[in-house]
């Protein structure tokens, strides 16, 4: 079998189009990810957010094996259809990436991973499908659950949470300056009629925060609710704490984020586990970092190129950070 030659991708970053087209989800920084993860025949990778299968497809084309996770059953079904030609080299599991360690145990997979990828955030399909309730410009049920098995929807959160709790969500997860006013407006309106659709919520927010720029005034609120409904930041923190133990020495962990809250978590985790020396004001001199397990490969995050952003505007906020697990840790 002829595999795609991926060894020179880091230098060339070849501009390739997806032969299957952007049917389900357009993967971000596809070539950069492949270049830094360095897939090759015999290597095992974890794709913690398989989406439509774009990143997994590139890893598989290079001859690697992939265990693909996604909490969205529709994503799993699409990846299974799209990647069927790779046979047993691909194993798909409906699960959140925070459950990766348990999935590997259930599969009886004891090999160390050559690499792992987390592509954080909402997929193109979720945004473009009104019935999923993620997009404020498409009227649909106020849902926002990435996993249909989850009990809590955005409507539940909006209609039952105390006003103070809603304001905290909007402020902390959306950096919304009018968080309290918007939450109070929601609290007053839901007494008359519970919120059921995305347009209901968008209209309520717009009545308090009218449009002053090109961005819809409800954008921050929708982002905050999505993060809260899916516990996105909690899942990311848990995955960062557990996945590294399953990497083989020299294995690499790549994370793509799309807003500052996620990127800050990844940045600090990678920094805290890659710096060789730690210095604190109360210490007479710096000490070796007992938590060092990584070599930082991206001192600064990689951004999508201008051509990719032109073809896929959703890539403009993407940031890629990558670390490599040390072959030996400092005692």
Coil/strand/helix, residue 254: strand
User: What is the spatial distance between Cα 47 and Cα 56, in angstroms, rounded to a whole number?
Assistant: 6
Extract the tokens encoding 223.
């982002």
* Angle between helices 219-230 and 232-242 in degrees, nearest 10: 50
Tens of pLDDT, residue by residue over 180-192, are: 999 999 999 999 9
pLDDT at 227: 95
Alpha-helix runs per DSSP H in the chain? 9-12, 30-37, 54-61, 73-82, 100-106, 124-128, 154-160, 163-174, 179-192, 198-208, 219-230, 232-242, 260-272, 306-311
Q: Whose CA is closest to 45, among 116, 96, 125? A: 116
Tens of pLDDT, residue by residue over 103-119, are: 999 999 988 999 999 99
125 pLDDT more than 60: yes
- Which has the minimum average pLDDT: 117-131, 132-146, 155-169, 224-238? 117-131
Q: Given phi > 0 = left and psi -120 to 50 = alpha, else beta, which region is 13?
A: left
90 pLDDT more than 80: yes
User: What is the spatial distance between Cα 253 and Cα 295, in angstroms, rounded to a whole number?
Assistant: 10
With 0-12 CB in 10 A as exposed, 13-18 as middle and 19+ as buried, what is 326? middle
pLDDT at 126: 77
User: What is the spatial distance between Cα 92 and Cα 69, in angstroms, rounded to a whole number?
Assistant: 6
Coil/strand/helix, residue 46: strand
Tens of pLDDT, residue by residue over 213-238, are: 778 999 999 999 999 999 999 999 99
User: What is the spatial distance between Cα 331 and Cα 328, in angstroms, rounded to a whole number?
Assistant: 9
End-to-end, the C-alpha distance of the chain in Å comes to 44
Mention every residue, 6+ apart, whose C-beta is less than 8 A from residue 33.
Answer: 27, 55, 58, 117, 254, 256, 320
156 pLDDT more than 60: yes
pLDDT at 2: 47
For β-strands 247-257 and 277-278, DSSP reports them as unpaired
Q: Which domains does the chain have, with CATH numbers?
A: 9-119+233-325 (3.40.50.150), 126-230 (1.10.150.170)
* Angle between helices 30-37 and 54-61 in degrees, nearest 10: 40
- Residue pair 121/258 in contact (Cβ under 8 Å)? The answer is yes
Mean pLDDT of the chain: 89
Coil/strand/helix, residue 104: helix
196 pLDDT more than 90: yes
Coil/strand/helix, residue 22: coil
With 0-12 CB in 10 A as exposed, 13-18 as middle and 19+ as buried, what is 309? middle
Residues linked to residue 319 through DSSP beta bridges, in sequence order: 257, 303
pLDDT at 24: 66
Percent of the chain residues past pLDDT 90, beyond the cut: 74
Which pTM was predicted?
0.88
Sign of CA dihedral 178, 179, 182, 187: negative
Tens of pLDDT, residue by residue over 289-322, are: 999 999 999 999 999 999 999 998 889 999 999 9
pLDDT at 12: 36
Tens of pLDDT, residue by residue over 1-28, are: 444 444 444 433 333 334 444 456 788 9
Tens of pLDDT, residue by residue over 62-81, are: 999 999 999 999 999 999 99
The pair phi, psi for residue 201, each rounded to 5°, is: -70, -45
pLDDT at 1: 46
**Half-sphere exposure for 181 (CA within 13 Å, toward CB):** 11
Percent of the chain residues past pLDDT 70, beyond the cut: 91
pLDDT at 266: 98
């Amino acid at each position: 079998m002829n595999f795609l030659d991926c060894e020179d991708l880091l230098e060339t970053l070849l501009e390739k189009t997806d032969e299957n087209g952007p049917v389900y989800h357009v993967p971000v920084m596809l070539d950069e990810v492949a270049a830094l993860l360095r897939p090759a025949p015999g290597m095992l990778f974890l794709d913690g957010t398989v989406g439509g299968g774009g990143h997994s497809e590139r890893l598989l084309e290079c001859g690697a094996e992939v265990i693909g996770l996604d909490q969205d059953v529709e994503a799993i079904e699409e990846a299974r259809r799209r990647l069927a030609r790779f046979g047993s080299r691909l194993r798909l599991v409906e699960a959140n990436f925070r459950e990766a360690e348990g999935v590997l145990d259930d599969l009886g997979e004891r090999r160390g991973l050559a690499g792992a990828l987390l592509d954080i955030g909402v997929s193109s399909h979720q945004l473009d499908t009104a019935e999923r309730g993620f997009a404020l410009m498409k009227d649909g049920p106020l849902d926002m659950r990435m996993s249909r098995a989850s009990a809590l929807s955005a409507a539940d959160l909006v209609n039952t949470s105390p006003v103070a709790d809603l304001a905290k969500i909007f402020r902390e997860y959306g950096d919304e300056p009018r968080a309290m006013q918007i939450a109070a407006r929601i609290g007053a309106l839901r007494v008359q009629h519970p919120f059921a659709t995305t347009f209901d919520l968008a209209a309520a927010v717009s009545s308090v925060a009218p449009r002053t720029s090109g961005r819809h005034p409800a954008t921050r609120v929708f982002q905050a609710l999505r993060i809260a409904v899916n516990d996105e930041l909690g899942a990311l923190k848990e995955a960062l704490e557990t996945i590294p133990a399953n990497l083989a020495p020299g294995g690499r962990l790549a994370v793509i984020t799309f807003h500052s809250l996620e990127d800050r978590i990844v940045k600090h985790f990678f920094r805290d586990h890659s710096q060789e020396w730690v210095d604190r004001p109360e210490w007479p001199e710096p000490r070796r970092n007992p938590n060092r397990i990584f070599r930082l490969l991206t001192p600064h995050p990689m951004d999508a190129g201008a051509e990719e952003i032109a073809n896929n505007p959703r890539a403009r906020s993407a940031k890629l950070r990558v670390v490599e697990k040390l072959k030996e840790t400092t005692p």
